[in-house]
A and B are shown apart, each in its own frame.
Chain A
Amino acid sequence: MLVDELPARLAVLETTLTALGYLVVGKVTSLDSIQCEVENSQPDVIIADLDNPGRDTLESMQAITRKRPRPIVMFTNDGDAKTIELAVKSGVTAYIVDGMAPDRIKPILDVAILRFREYQLLRNELELTRLQLSERKQLDKAKGLLMQKKGLDEEHAYQLLRKMAMDRNMKIAELARSIIAAAELLG
């Protein structure tokens, strides 16, 4: 998906990318539809003009809402070569410079997509670990409640939980949460 306020420059970039074998699924010239356009066109990568204020919108869609994260590559005709060079080198943001030879564009896009996927994978793993940790705590708490109220030992409390979850077609973590909530409600 391409984001640029200048239609002429956007057309040039589209021609270049198409020749490289990419499919441009969406184009945004006015800022009004960035969010809708991302949702409609479901791009693998977003290429946005560096001077477009919509950059904050694009970033926040991955940072805070965590909805449909996409790698973003900045496109610029800015003469600020030092910034770009440093940014690319340090892996901050991938940049394509206006007038850049097409054979240089493809590796930049490929690296941006790859690096983003790696980062995403790492973050997903971290979240999974955090979730499992919190489920583990809840499970222990629910077990404790059953042991206390029903006079069971730990092994039997766990078996009871598992049976109840199976009978109700619930995940064991979900059931643990319900038991804790009910216990809090009833004091």
Chain B
Amino acid sequence: MSKHSSINIGYIPLLDAAPLLLAQELGFFGDAGLNVQLSREASWANIRDKLYVGSLHGAHLLAPMTISVSLGLNRVKAPLVTSFVMSLNGNAITVSNSLREQLRSVNPEALASASTSVLTLKKLIDQRREQGRSPLTFAVVYPYSCHNYLLRYWLGAGGINPDHDLNIVVIPPAQMVSQLAAGRIDGFCVGEPWNQIAVAQGHGKVLLSTFDIWHNAPEKVFAVHRDWAQANTDANLELISSLLKACQWMEEPANRNDAWAILGQAEYLGFGPEILQNGLQCGKHVFFKNSANHPWPVQGLWLLSQMQRWGHIPGNTKPQELVHSLYRPDLYLEAALHSGQPVPARELRQLGLHTAPWHFDKITLGSDRFIDGLCFHADKYNEYLNAFETSNLDAQT
């Protein structure tokens, strides 16, 4: 592909699409000689189908979707590769006023911490079952999303099996609040600003940020079709360099107002600056600092472990091989080197040890603690997976 033919990239209008929108509007793609066409999409299913048929070359994607689309978990199978993490964190769990009161009636201190709230929820679910009441319903934005896997991790840490003890349904972000208000769901896990909107309208209470479940979880990645990546290594590298530049630009507090003005345009996100600003604060999004954009295979491996834990991927999947075919940190490292960023000489192999930013090789990384204090080591995948007391692994054998 010549540098002048167009590269079509899809996105969902969410705050964390910012790096793509900014790289386009600030002219970073253009400066690199790339002709990028951004395409606003209505659903993750549309993005997946368009990647499959080739009308999109790349997309802003939920991190677990790199795995689900490459494996063809929704019938449509398109091999993808990712060399860039677009954002960390950004989601929270909100419950209805009624569920909050039920939790408090079981334990007045129920809302004190992420662990007390889930242990209380477990008691409440047992009580409701004894009373013959219907199971609670929680909503997420997509099955193969960090929203789903972090909600499940939190529930699992409290001994709740989401597939037996409650219902999990899928609802698009913009409909979450009205569904909660109508009493059709009891809680949800969604990106900002929807949690803040639920609170502002008096329909719910934020129980915890997903940051409390796993510090600095990779939320969205930039992924491209493997065939396109193989035929367009240079263009792919330029894309990643431009995205990195946009992330760095956004990190500067002095650029924030300009960022809100660009992102707020009706053709992009269509939110006012206050909503975007609040969303960013409450969501604890990270777009650049602490090498946030580094696509660590161990992060993909962890996501895979959760997909396997809940029975979402076939038992014969080979985790290490699969993740190393999807995660391509080499292009990110090259882009980072070009822009003068420090890069590590080693690969990160372990998650969960740190409650504060820490030094790894030549770089600083963000904290990475899990709510239950467990550690995940890339070499101990099976051990880790089999140690979960709450899982659907038994049902698969």
Contacts and interface: CB of A to CB of B under 8 A. Distances in A.
B170 A92 contact: no
Interface stretch (A11-19, A53-61, A142-150, A152-160): A53-61
A32 B179 contact: yes
B83 to A, nearest CB: 25
B162 to A, nearest CB: 10
The binding surface of chain A is classed by DSSP as helix
A32 B184 CA distance: 9
A91 to B, nearest CB: 9
A83 interface: yes
Nearest to A83: B55
Interface string B165-196: 00111111011001100101000000000000
B54 interface: yes
Interface in B124-153: 141-143
Interface residues of B, number: 32
B171 A57 contact: yes
A134 B142 CA distance: 30
B384 interface: no
A88 to B, nearest CB: 10
A64 B170 contact: yes
A23 interface: no
A42 interface: no
A55 B178 contact: no
B43 A53 contact: yes
B228 interface: no
Nearest to B40: A51
Given A80-B55, A92-B53, A93-B49, A59 B74 contact: yes
A86 B55 CA distance: 9
B336 to A, nearest CB: 33
A56 B45 contact: yes
B46 interface: yes
Given A83-B53, A86-B54, A35 B169 contact: yes
Q: Among B43, B167, B168, B178, find the residue whose CB has the most chain A CB atoms closer than 10 A.
A: B43
Interface string A37-75: 000000000000011111111011101110000000000
A169 interface: no
A60 B49 contact: no
A82 B175 CA distance: 31
A18 B154 CA distance: 48
A87 interface: yes
Given A53-B174, A56-B142, A63 B74 contact: yes
Contacts of A86: 53-55
B170 to A, nearest CB: 4
B381 interface: no
A31 interface: yes
A185 interface: no
B179 A57 contact: no
B184 A55 contact: no
A149 B342 CA distance: 65
B397 A134 contact: yes
Nearest to B181: A32
B50 to A, nearest CB: 6
A64 B168 contact: yes
B50 A83 contact: yes
Interface string B60-96: 0000000000000111100000000000000000000
Interface in A90-127: 90, 92-93, 119
Contact of A63 (B143, B171, B172): B143
B271 interface: no
A60 to B, nearest CB: 4
B49 A83 contact: yes
A130 to B, nearest CB: 8
A66 B43 CA distance: 20
A182 interface: no
A6 to B, nearest CB: 13
B169 A57 contact: yes
A36 interface: yes
Interface of B: 42-46, 49-50, 52-55, 73-76, 141-143, 167-172, 174-175, 178-179, 182, 184, 312, 397
9 contacts: A35-B169, A50-B42, A55-B46, A59-B45, A60-B142, A82-B55, A92-B53, A93-B76, A119-B75
Q: What 8 A-B pairs have minimum CB-CB distances, sorted nearest first? A: A60-B170, A53-B172, A86-B53, A55-B43, A83-B55, A64-B143, A51-B42, A56-B43
Interface of A: 31-32, 35-36, 50-57, 59-61, 63-65, 80, 82-83, 86-87, 90, 92-93, 119, 134, 137
